[in-house]
């Protein structure tokens, strides 16, 4: 970490206060600039120097006004310290706990994430599944959500959901009941989780897992925020299961993100005589979501790359040939035994640190590399099981 790091972290914390999450224009500005430079420009009411992202020209002054109007909300170092005392920490892209798979969101990725809880988000999410569904769950849906999450917890997988009533709540509770970790990705500050009826549940989640948000502490939820948040639920995990969803359920927006990110998308069928599962049936029929009925079937989809399924061959899901040349170079730079850190790998591969981190995330998702205590290393290949 450079001496400049605290300043850049504070800048990213500031951006979470100024801008709505997922702003691709802001994301594009951050692609080529340090966050502090972007914040300084916003304070000055102008665009930062350097290449200007391809964007609607009329939108730029509007965005600057919008962000500038909130500049009084910008936190100070002492705010961060005070939040930290209350158990709220900030993680930023490139830091050890930053989940590499969020790189799949590209310019729409979070500027930073606020966390409350004991889990290591990056490590936990490497083996995680999101379970989502309607708030207005039926007894059937709640039962299935609980059972699925418990089954995943039993196998050491982390369950990510949105902390809402209905299916989300059943998923968190099922995971907790099985002694598994669970993460709630919220659309409001992690210190004032919504809905309040889940206050006790949120404490249980934070105890062993984490509450995660793109919004700064204290921020109340907005209607639109829930949809924005859903992309993070999909991007954090190895796959998404829709347990019960009507045709217009918000859970289908998470499903759409999972599909668009090319992550395994699954849905649990239900009685066709109820409309509560109509969205699940639709995405099975029309989007190619896999019809799953048990945790084992979910693991069959997300653990295809290996991961402790005893009767599955470990190894990459993609052939080496399918990697682009930069990713292949990064893979070549990953040591086979003792791990290496991203910076060392970046130097060895001749790429910048961000590229190395993005490629390592893709390689991990593809089953080529694993994280270990000392950094990254190539996943050992097992020979195919002999037939006979």
The residue ranges that bind a second copy (CB under 8 A) are 140, 143-144, 268-273, 277-278, 281, 284-285, 290-294, 297
Q: Interior CA angle at 126 toward 123 and 128, to 5°? A: 110
CA 106 to chain centre: 12
Nearer to a second copy by C-beta: 285 or 382? 285
Phi, psi of 56, rounded to the nearest 5 degrees: -55, 120
> How far, in Å, CA of 283 to CA of 285, rounded?
5
Q: How far is the CB of 268 from a second copy (least distance, A)?
A: 6
Work out how close the CB of 270 gets to a second copy at its nearest, in angstroms, rounded to a whole number.
Answer: 6
Residue 66 or 143: the one with the smaller Cβ distance to a second copy is 143
Decide whether 221 or 264 has the Cβ nearer to a second copy: 264
DSSP sequence for 198-225: GHHHHHHHHHHSEEEESSPTTPPP-HHH
CA dist., res. 203 & res. 200, Å (int): 5
Q: Which residue has the tokens 């390689």?
A: 363
Q: Which is nearer to a second copy, 131 or 187 (CB)?
A: 131
Both tokens assigned to 154: 């039993």
Closest to a second copy by CB, 291 vs 347, is 291
Residue 170: other Cβ atoms inside 10 A: 26
Burial class (CB in 10 A: 0-12, 13-18, 19+), 131: buried
| Residue 89: other Cβ atoms inside 10 A | 17
Q: Using CA atoms, how far apart are residues 307 and 232, in angstroms rounded to an integer?
A: 23
Residue closer to a second copy (CB basis): 224 or 285:
285
Closest CB to a second copy among 170 and 213? 170
What is the token pair recorded at 174? Answer: 């099922």
The secondary element (H helix, E strand) that includes residue 354 is helix 353-365
């Amino acid at each position: 970490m450079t001496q400049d790091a605290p300043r850049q972290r504070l800048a990213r914390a500031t951006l979470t206060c100024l801008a709505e999450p997922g702003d691709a224009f802001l994301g594009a500005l951050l692609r080529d600039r340090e966050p502090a430079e972007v914040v300084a420009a916003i304070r000055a009411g102008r665009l930062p120097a350097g290449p200007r992202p391809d964007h609607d020209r009329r939108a730029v002054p509007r965005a600057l006004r919008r962000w500038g109007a909130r500049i009084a909300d910008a936190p100070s170092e002492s705010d961060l310290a005070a939040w930290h005392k209350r158990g709220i920490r900030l993680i930023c892209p490139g830091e050890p706990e930053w989940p590499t798979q969020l790189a799949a969101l590209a310019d729409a990725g979070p500027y930073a994430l606020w966390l409350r809880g004991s889990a290591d988000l990056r490590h936990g999410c490497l083996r995680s599944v999101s379970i989502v569904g309607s708030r207005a769950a039926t007894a059937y849906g709640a039962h299935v959500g609980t059972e699925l999450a418990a089954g995943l917890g039993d196998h050491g997988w982390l369950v990510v959901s949105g902390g809402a009533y209905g299916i989300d709540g059943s998923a968190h509770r099922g995971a907790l009941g099985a002694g598994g970790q669970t993460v709630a990705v919220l659309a409001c500050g992690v210190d004032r989780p919504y809905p309040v009826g889940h206050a006790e549940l949120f404490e249980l989640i934070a105890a062993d897992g984490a509450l995660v948000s793109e919004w700064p502490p204290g921020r109340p939820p907005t209607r639109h925020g829930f949809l924005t948040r859903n992309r993070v639920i999909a991007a954090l995990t190895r796959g998404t299961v829709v347990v019960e969803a009507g045709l217009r359920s918000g859970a289908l927006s998470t499903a759409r993100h999972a599909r668009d990110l090319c992550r395994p998308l699954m849905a649990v069928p239900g009685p066709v005589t109820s409309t509560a599962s109509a969205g699940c049936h639709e995405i099975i029929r029309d989007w190619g979501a896999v019809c799953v009925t048990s945790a084992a079937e979910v693991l069959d989809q997300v653990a295809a790359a290996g991961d402790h399924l005893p009767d599955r061959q470990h190894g990459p899901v993609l052939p080496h040939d399918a990697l682009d040349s930069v990713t292949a170079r990064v893979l070549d730079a990953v040591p086979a035994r003792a791990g290496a850190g991203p910076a060392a790998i970046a130097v060895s591969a001749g790429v910048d640190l961000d590229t190395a981190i993005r490629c390592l995330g893709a390689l991990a998702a593809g089953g080529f590399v694993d994280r270990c205590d000392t950094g990254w290393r190539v996943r050992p290949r097992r020979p195919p099981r002999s037939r006979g």
